[in-house]
Structure 1
Amino acid sequence: MAMVEFWYEFASTYSYPAALRVAALAAERGVALAWRPFLLGPVFATQGWRDSPFNIYPAKGRYMWRDLERICAARGLPFRRPEPFPQNSLLAARVALALDGDDRAGFSRNVYAAEFGEGLSIADRALIVRLVADLGLDPEAILARAESDANKSKLKSECARAIALGVFGAPTLATEDGELFWGDDRLEQGLDWAAGGGG
């Protein structure tokens, strides 16, 4: 079975609609999906950016927010812009990385729904605790694992791996043959590529 890595950042706007549909799209094509949370901050730093390009370039930012509104409306997804933007996604990323398989995917979808569906702050520890508990897991144990030195180092390694792969934004699909497909609007193309064995 072909496998695709789904690289996503919790502060990423377009990762919201992508995260809510990528698993179903992959299953339809018989493609295994690996959920890979990472941070865009280190990636942006390599490009000389200290903020989201959507903030650095106001016209691009205005377009993005309107575009996201249209996408969510078309798919029947709730949308509420979180403030501030981008959100501090460090704790959420650490928790996601401390989870495996369906738990990681479920937690990740729930984070996006809370952040962009309800406009809640994902930097709020109480919210993260609730989202972990909603999965039927022990928040205290998961948070302890998430904030361990080993897991912190793992997240740094994941960010370095994303940069090494050439990931420059989120969401990005990375196929086994080294192809990258960036954006919610490239999910089908990337998964079709993987399912068909590449070009």
Structure 2
Amino acid sequence: MRQNPSFTLADPAEIKRLIRVNPWATLVSNTDDGLVASHYPVLVDESREELSIVTHVGRPDEQLHELGRHELLVVIQGPHGYISPGWYDAKPAVPTWNFTAAHLSGVPEILSDEENFRVLGGLVDHFENRMPHPRRMEGTPENAAYAQRISSGTVGLRLTPTRVVAKSKLSQNRSDETVDTIIGELEGDGPYASPALAAEMRRVHERMRAAR
């Protein structure tokens, strides 16, 4: 991912926040048989101070990815959307795409069966916590027994990346007036409305303005 100093996202706390809010990730490996990509939810490993994530793959994806033999690239994609030049510039201009993303690379650690089971439980809790009546993986003896059986079909992993490239391209190079106009369009009802992207832009630019 090409970097630009204006858009570099280097704060580990912000990258962790990006992952927490956007946990659906793409896992990419360059194997002996070529490129392999899979898609799984990931969690920030809150037990570690440094940036680290945990997840699982379903068998036989661990073989397809040759997990543990080489680097794994995990792509986190945050809010993104089309930005029309017609929203803010009457002069000749080109459109762009605003987005947030992080690329985490490193050789993953394969988890023991016990730790993998804990990670699976954490994944379930992470998403079920929003439900009015959460279904816990071990909420009942029957659920726990079922979870124990099916967990054998998964392989857990932890990635503590040795290389991180993260980018937050949210019109930081535009004037406050232009940014406010873009946010208004994204919050509207047009064909490229994106409330999530608008909220991310508003959050970032409010922090920028407060720091001036």
TM over 0.5: no
The structure richer in strand per residue is 2
Q: TM-score range by the shorter chain?
A: under 0.3
TM-score, normalisation: structure 2: 0.23
Q: Looking at CA atoms only, which structure, 1 or 2, has the larger radius of gyration?
A: 2
